[in-house]
Amino acid sequence: MLSKKDIVEANRQFSTGKVMNESSLDFAVHTSARSKNWLRSSAVFTRAILIDHVFEDGNKRTAAAVIMSLMELNKVLFDPELVAEGVIRILMRNITSIREIERCIKDAVR
């Protein structure tokens, strides 16, 4: 699974890596570490990054990168365009439910 350092490094690809909501990121890392389900972990990280605005900037791109990283780690085939569309859908509809976020992420699986 991904560590806090991994998530911050993902954000540094797009921005400064400055964490604005550390408690939300810590909770997501802790929750994800307890889960063996890549989809649940993706949803937990996505919710923290998008809804709780973990980073100063680059949250959408970071969320997409984290989703794709978890898919790659778990050898799940996906369409990057559909991952991006899912991230936008979560934001536009203000989806906060982990199960609904999981559905949006799962739509990108081939």
pLDDT digits (tens, 9 = 90+) for 81-107: 999 999 999 999 999 999 999 999 999
Angstrom distance (rounded) from CA 100 to CA 68: 18
Enter the tokens of residue 60: 């959408």
Domain count, the chain: 1
CATH number of the domain enclosing 56: 1.20.120.1870
pLDDT digits (tens, 9 = 90+) for 14-65: 999 999 999 999 999 999 999 999 999 999 999 999 999 999 999 999 999 9
Angstrom distance (rounded) from CA 87 to CA 105: 8
- DSSP-based three-state secondary structure for 17: coil
Look up the domain containing 72 and give its range.
4-106
pTM attached to this predicted model: 0.96
pLDDT digits (tens, 9 = 90+) for 5-25: 999 999 999 999 999 999 999
Angstrom distance (rounded) from CA 17 to CA 78: 26
Place of tokens 């973990």: 54
Helix H segments across the chain? 4-12, 22-34, 38-46, 59-73, 80-92, 98-106
Place of tokens 């536009």: 92
